[in-house]
Amino acid sequence: MSRLDPHSYWDAGQPRTRRLRLSLSVDFSERRLSGSVVLELAAPASGPFDLDTKGLAILSVRGADGRDIPHALADEEPILGRRLRLDLPSGTREVAIEYRTSPDAVALQWLAPEQTEGKRHPFLFSQCQAIHARTVAPLQDSPRVRVTYAAEITVPEPLAAVMSAGPAGVRPGPVAGTRTFLFEMPQPIPPYLLALAVGDIGSRDLSPRSRVHSEPATLERAAWEFAGIEEMIVKAEGLFGPYEWDRYDMIVLPPSFPYGGMENPRMTFLTPTLLAGDRSLVDVVAHELAHSWTGNLVTNASIDHFWLNEGSTVYAERRIHEALHGEEAAVLGWAIGQKALDEEMERFGAGSPLTRLRTDLAGIDPDDAFSSIPYEKGSRLLALLERTAGRERFDRFLRDYIAAFRFTSITSEEWLAFLQERLPGVAERAQVRDWLYEPGLPANAPVFRSRALEDLTSLAESWTRGERPTPPQIATWKPSEMLVFLKGLPRELPPADCAALDQLLGLMGRGNHEILVEWLVIAAGSDYEPAFGKVREVLTRVGRMKYLRPLYAALGRHPRTRALARDIVAAASPGYHALSRRVVESVMSKYAD
């Protein structure tokens, strides 16, 4: 037995899946996908073949000749789910599994019409990273097992389906009132990039290779917000090499989507909280786009190397930002990231093994280990290497790295070996081993400075001494500058200060959710009653975990806001994604009483 991925039953000594053929029907009333998946093997095989499943009902397993293949579902493991072991007769090239998903599948959120913008039709979206693809289909759910796929998805009219794949047509469904959407994904992907959304979905072209999808009522705003996508793709190609996925499309999901964005290839999934109305949050799109190179082309071999995906992508995102808006603007991004990093170091404790880049998460749920550490510590390591090698050499290294490992999944050790080969001496000078294997942030972490950053930081620090930014000063601020200012303020202010701050910056009505939530975190932590209504509104409407965690944590400070939080959560939690609900429960379990 050779299990290389602690979060999968996949056995490297067994046959490998090369391609999936999904045929599924979407049942909103039962909240299930049902149908079949065919797993095509890389080579004819025989003997044991282990798949990951979680919550799946397995109805039949057959070979290409239609004959039953002996199989057994092992007992449920809390994180991994149930191993499905098939016993393949010799010469097996493919297996067809009939199955259906559970209404509790973590990867699937089923929304009632009230939870959508249009209020008339239900909506479904998936979120498979890191290990939830196994709740959607039986498969080898490890990023090392890359697959191409074809899919036929049957949905009730007038709904439409999109996937992380190229569209391949629509035809009438098997029963009246349904349609079947066809997809073809020719590029091999890790299973966590399998993605599906179903709803009242329209689309708008943004460039010859890019289109945005959303509910009809959101389309106009979405198309405006992301109009700059082609420019971003062009900049990214200049930095990292050709875009290898043909098209770059996006979908703006309903607000319960638990992340800011998810890099599903050919169809990035996005939270509607990015629609600030001023294009100020498109960095999240730059991030998901950058995953097209770092993450989707070169993929972490398991969640223990997650920093390779996210650290590299944050670095790439900030390089795109710099190319578009200049160095000063990029420095603000690094500064905002530093705050997140400091907070996470404090949450885990700088000695915690979860603050290593290369982790050992066997026995730990990846969702519980999720944090900004791989993002911000990881991106800082790359920035340090850039400074050590010089930008030109490092840029060449990055492009060579992507070209060398494209369409493969690698470990931190493989990354390090390549670094040592291509940039001799740099890893040693930067003490890369400490970065990878030791907890905390190494002392040689790069520092990012700019005049604007220093001014904003000192202005925020002088708040408690009664100094205030002036209206003309504020009028020149970009949203990221206002955010840096807010992040520099104390987490608790007297009510009069809260009122003054809101008045000065017009915070309560902000469409930029980074600013709005930063303000509400201060207001909630300050027991500032005039903000309670807005706090409730945001926590009820939005399921993005990045906002739920700090807001509920801030509400934990005072008895009155703790009561408010309990009240809000009782009303809001049925609308939360299962992952969001878990985060909220964990934050509230730390409340004083």
Phi, psi of 375 (to 5 degrees): -70, -55
Active site annotation includes 375: yes
Residues in contact with Zn ion by CB under 5 A are 310, 313
Question: What is the largest distance, in Å, between two alpha-carbon atoms of the chain?
Answer: 80
CA 483 to each of CA 253, 472, 507, 590: distance values in angstroms, whole numbers, following the listed order: 25, 17, 11, 27
Which option in Zn ion, ligand BES, none does residue 130 bind, with CB closer than 5 to 8 A by kind? ligand BES
Active site annotation includes 99: no
Within 358-387, the residues that bind ligand BES by CB under 6 A are 370, 375
Q: In the bound complex, what is the minimum distance in angstroms from residue 121's beta carbon to Zn ion?
A: 30
* Distance separating alpha carbons of residues 63 and 44, to the nearest angstrom: 12
Residue 502 has which token pair?
């809101």
Q: In the bound complex, what is the minimum distance in angstroms from residue 325's beta carbon to ligand BES?
A: 15
Q: In the bound complex, what is the minimum distance in angstroms from residue 220's beta carbon to ligand BES?
A: 24
> Which of the residues 152, 263, 288, 317 is marked catalytic?
288
* Distance separating alpha carbons of residues 309 and 249, to the nearest angstrom: 20
Among 84, 219, 275, 284, binds ligand BES (CB under 6 A): 284
Single-letter amino acid, residue 592: A
Q: In the bound complex, what is the minimum distance in angstroms from residue 181's beta carbon to ligand BES?
A: 24
By the rule CB under 6 A, 304 interacts with ligand BES: no
By the rule CB under 6 A, 308 interacts with ligand BES: no
Measured torsion, CA atoms of residues 553, 557, 559, 561, in degrees rounded to the nearest 10: -50
Q: Residue 14's closest CA among 39, 63, 40, 47? A: 47
Instruction: State the residue number with the nearest CB to ligand BES.
Output: 260
Which option in Zn ion, ligand BES, none does residue 322 bind, with CB closer than 5 to 8 A by kind? none
* Distance separating alpha carbons of residues 443 and 431, to the nearest angstrom: 10
Q: In the bound complex, what is the minimum distance in angstroms from residue 228's beta carbon to Zn ion?
A: 19
- ∠ CA(186), CA(190), CA(195), 5° rounding? 75
Single-letter amino acid, residue 467: E
The residue (of 129 and 218) whose beta carbon lies closer to Zn ion is: 129
Among 211, 235, 287, 581, binds ligand BES (CB under 6 A): 287
Sort residue 178 into left (φ over 0), alpha (ψ -120 to 50) or beta: beta
Beta-strand pair 261-262/267-270: antiparallel
Which option in Zn ion, ligand BES, none does residue 262 bind, with CB closer than 5 to 8 A by kind? ligand BES
The residue (of 201 and 284) whose beta carbon lies closer to ligand BES is: 284
By the rule CB under 6 A, 288 interacts with ligand BES: yes
Q: In the bound complex, what is the minimum distance in angstroms from residue 276's beta carbon to ligand BES?
A: 14
CB-based contact 145:407 (threshold 8 Å): no
CB-based contact 210:249 (threshold 8 Å): yes
- Residue 170: enclosing H or E segment and its boundaries? strand 166-172
By the rule CB under 6 A, 7 interacts with ligand BES: no
The residue (of 478 and 558) whose beta carbon lies closer to ligand BES is: 478
Within 256-275, the residues that bind ligand BES by CB under 6 A are 259-263
By the rule CB under 6 A, 291 interacts with ligand BES: yes
Q: How many residues bind ligand BES (CB under 6 A)?
A: 15
By the rule CB under 6 A, 129 interacts with ligand BES: yes
The residue (of 123 and 306) whose beta carbon lies closer to ligand BES is: 306
The residue (of 100 and 546) whose beta carbon lies closer to ligand BES is: 546
Q: In the bound complex, what is the minimum distance in angstroms from residue 294's beta carbon to Zn ion?
A: 9
The residue (of 122 and 261) whose beta carbon lies closer to ligand BES is: 261
By the rule CB under 6 A, 481 interacts with ligand BES: no
The residue (of 313 and 480) whose beta carbon lies closer to Zn ion is: 313
Its sign, for the CA torsion 300, 435, 366, 353, is: positive
Strand partners, 139: 52
* Distance separating alpha carbons of residues 81 and 72, to the nearest angstrom: 14
> Which of the residues 149, 375, 552, 576 is marked catalytic?
375
Single-letter amino acid, residue 143: P
Q: In the bound complex, what is the minimum distance in angstroms from residue 140's beta carbon to ligand BES?
A: 19
By the rule CB under 6 A, 211 interacts with ligand BES: no
Q: In the bound complex, what is the minimum distance in angstroms from residue 187's beta carbon to ligand BES?
A: 18
- The window from 254-262, 341-349, 404-412, 458-466 that contacts ligand BES (CB under 6 A) reads 254-262
Beta-strand pair 147-156/178-189: antiparallel
Which option in ligand BES, Zn ion, none does residue 261 bind, with CB closer than 5 to 8 A by kind? ligand BES
* Distance separating alpha carbons of residues 261 and 123, to the nearest angstrom: 18
- ∠ CA(365), CA(368), CA(371), 5° rounding? 130
- Residue 213: enclosing H or E segment and its boundaries? strand 210-214
Which option in Zn ion, ligand BES, none does residue 28 bind, with CB closer than 5 to 8 A by kind? none
* Distance separating alpha carbons of residues 444 and 430, to the nearest angstrom: 8
CA 87 to each of CA 20, 47, 92: distance values in angstroms, whole numbers, following the listed order: 19, 5, 10
Which option in ligand BES, Zn ion, none does residue 344 bind, with CB closer than 5 to 8 A by kind? none
By the rule CB under 6 A, 130 interacts with ligand BES: yes
Catalytic residues, by residue number, are 288, 375
Q: Which residues of the chain form contacts with ligand BES (CB under 6 A)?
A: 129-130, 259-263, 284, 287-288, 291, 310, 370, 375, 546
